[in-house]
Amino acid sequence: MENKRIKLHHSPFTVLVEGNIGSGKTTFLNYFKQYQNVCTLAEPIEMWKNCGGHNLLRYMYEDRERWGFTFQSYVQLTMLKQHTFQTNSSIKLMERSIYSARYCFVEKMIRDDILPPPSASVIDEWFKWATSNTICPVDLIIYLRASPEVVYQRMRERNREEEKSVPLQYLREMHEMHENWLYHKTMFTCPAPVLVVNADLDKSVILEEYRKVTPNIFSTCL
Ligand code: DGT
């Protein structure tokens, strides 16, 4: 029988790009596409919008109580696929992670009573198994730190169909989840050192900000 165990043949320097909705994670990843030894893994949002023909992202925003567990289960699976993705590049940049899914989004659902305790336990058992089995290694976290008002404006401008009903208050609350985890470090542990980037800056000047952190990403892995 074929051995289907997950083996990580090559372990690249793995960087998680984290930050609130609309903080510029995709732009950050796109900036690094110019480097040949960097593998960039965008968030699997297209998969969330089409799981066997079902738009789970839309369902989740329409009825978080009904679809919260379904959505987070699928997010966790798709994130695990990203974490275990094999590359020969020396650096792997990932948009979000199994960690922000659990520590920010699932945690918010638990606090809002969206996820009943048994459902939260199932997610947690999977999460604990995955993160204690060295299949989700992390070396550095880039935190794109942006104010809720700025990301709200960006979210409105990009006009993603599924996000039309997302209020500023939700972005404020998600901001707090990210802040407590990655900035104040009062909630959960960080799986790697955190580098904070001012993500409020306008697109015209943000590339300069990205340029500043480039040595941190490259030097540590050489
Ligand atoms: P960017 O490039 O910083 O603008 O990134 P976004 O906003 O395209 O990507 P992200 O991950 O912040 O959010 C994409 C959408 O998916 C957004 O509506 C929030 C949602 N989302 C992402 N991960 C999770 C999750 O684990 N749970 C829940 N409930 N929603 C999530």
User: Residue 2: what pLDDT?
Assistant: 42
Task: Look at residue 188 and tell me if it is in a domain.
Answer: yes
Mean pLDDT of 72-83: 97
CA of 2 to the centre of ligand 1 (A): 36
φ, ψ for residue 50 (rounded to 5)?
Answer: -150, 75
pLDDT exceeds cutoff 90 at 211: no
Mean pLDDT of 97-112: 97
Percentage of the residues of the chain whose pLDDT score is greater than 70: 94
pTM for this predicted structure: 0.92
CA angle, residues 75, 81, 82, in degrees to nearest 5:
90
pLDDT level of residue 220 (50, 70, 90 thresholds): low
Mean pLDDT of 177-193: 96
Q: Which residue has the higher pLDDT, 205 or 101?
A: 101
Q: Which atom of ligand 1 is nearest to the CA of 20?
A: 12
Q: Which residue has the higher pLDDT, 162 or 5?
A: 162
Task: Look at residue 4 and tell me if it is in a domain.
Answer: no
Task: Look at residue 3 and tell me if it is in a domain.
Answer: no
Is the shortest distance between the CB of 60 and ligand 1 below 6 Å? Answer: yes
Q: If you take atom 12 of ligand 1, which residue's CA is the nearest one? A: 21
User: Residue 10: what pLDDT?
Assistant: 65
pLDDT level of residue 11 (50, 70, 90 thresholds): confident
Question: Each residue of 137-157: pLDDT tens digit?
Answer: 999 999 999 999 999 999 999
Q: How many domains does the chain have?
A: 1
State the chain's mean pLDDT as an integer.
Answer: 92
**Distant-in-sequence, close-in-space partners of 87: CB < 8 Å, separation ≥ 6:** 10, 12, 39
Kindly report which listed range (16-20, 23-27, 186-190, 202-206) carries the lowest average pLDDT score: 202-206
pLDDT level of residue 7 (50, 70, 90 thresholds): very low
Q: Which residue has the higher pLDDT, 2 or 142?
A: 142
Q: Which atom of ligand 1 is nearest to the CA of 144?
A: 3
Task: Look at residue 74 and tell me if it is in a domain.
Answer: yes
Q: Which atom of ligand 1 is nearest to the CA of 79?
A: 26
Task: Look at residue 22 and tell me if it is in a domain.
Answer: yes
Mean pLDDT of 98-125: 97
Q: Positive or negative CA dihedral for 137, 185, 98, 110? A: positive
Is the shortest distance between the CB of 92 and ligand 1 below 6 Å? Answer: no
* Domain enclosing residue 61, as ranges: 13-219
DSSP letter string over the chain? --------SS--EEEEEEESTTSSHHHHHHHGGG-TTEEEE---HHHHT-BTTB-HHHHHHH-HHHHHHHHHHHHHHHHHHHHT----SSEEEEES-HHHIIIIIIHHHHHTT-S-HHHHHHHHHHHHHHHTTTSS--SEEEEEE--HHHHHHHHHHHT-GGGTT--HHHHHHHHHHHIIIIIS--SS--SS-EEEEETTS-HHHHHHHHHHHHHHHHHTT-
φ, ψ for residue 182 (rounded to 5)?
Answer: -105, -20
Domain containing 36 — which CATH number? 3.40.50.300
